[in-house]
Amino acid sequence: MAARTGLSDGAAHSTSGRRGLPWWAWAAIVLFILLIVLWLAAVLMLPGLRKAAIQGNEASAIGYVRAVANAERMAAEFNKGYFLPLSCLADPVQCPPAVASQPLLSGTLTDSYSLFFRVAASPTAVEMAEKGAAARSIKAWTLVVMPRAPGVTGQRVFCTDTSGGIFFTPDSNTLPDPSGGRCGGASPLQ
């Protein structure tokens, strides 16, 4: 009798797995299932990722609005009680006499939001001369920051004004009324 080698007599070595499928077919099936599972995980994570991106953009917008409010407060301290336009906050030398040697506002708004700075009231030339204020001084102002693509880059609209408070509207369909140097129709940010 012949010695057994582990193979049945006359049987050839096969690359087939279960039920006669080759190993590469099984690998393709497993890979396909893995891709479906990964695709489902990505689909389930997208809303959360979009929400996180919106929250990050809104946090950045709030930070910029807060920085402008603080810079305007400092400008009023240096500029005899008057505020300054954004360009003067970023570079005080642009508004002679310079109220500071260093920029009062550093940083910019992200591309996901756009801004609208409105001068509500300006002092007369006589008032500025009497106090020695900068040439482009402002009595009252508002800054409105809106998402560039509502629902994609942000939901809420943010506003700050002469009071230094930060306000918001719950969606970009409702904008604050910036007249009179106040963020009318907006709720205070907690």
What residues have CB less than 8 Å from 117, skipping those under 6 apart?
85, 86, 141, 142, 143
pLDDT in tens, 3-22: 555 555 555 555 555 567 88
Q: Which residues of the chain have pLDDT under 70?
A: 1-19
Instruction: Check residue 3 and give its pLDDT.
Output: 53
Query: Radius of gyration of the chain from Cα atoms?
Result: 32
Domains of the chain, residue spans: 54-188
Per-residue confidence (pLDDT) for residue 9, from 0 to 100? 52
Please state whether the predicted TM-score (pTM) of the whole model is above 0.85.
Answer: no
> Between the CA atoms of 122, 140, 94 and 130, what dihedral angle is there, to the nearest 10 degrees?
50
What pLDDT is recorded for position 140? 95
CA dihedral (25, 28, 32, 33) in degrees, to 10, reads 70
Tell me which DSSP letter residue 18 carries.
G
- Give dist(CA 136, CA 123) in Å, integer: 9
pLDDT of residue 143: 95
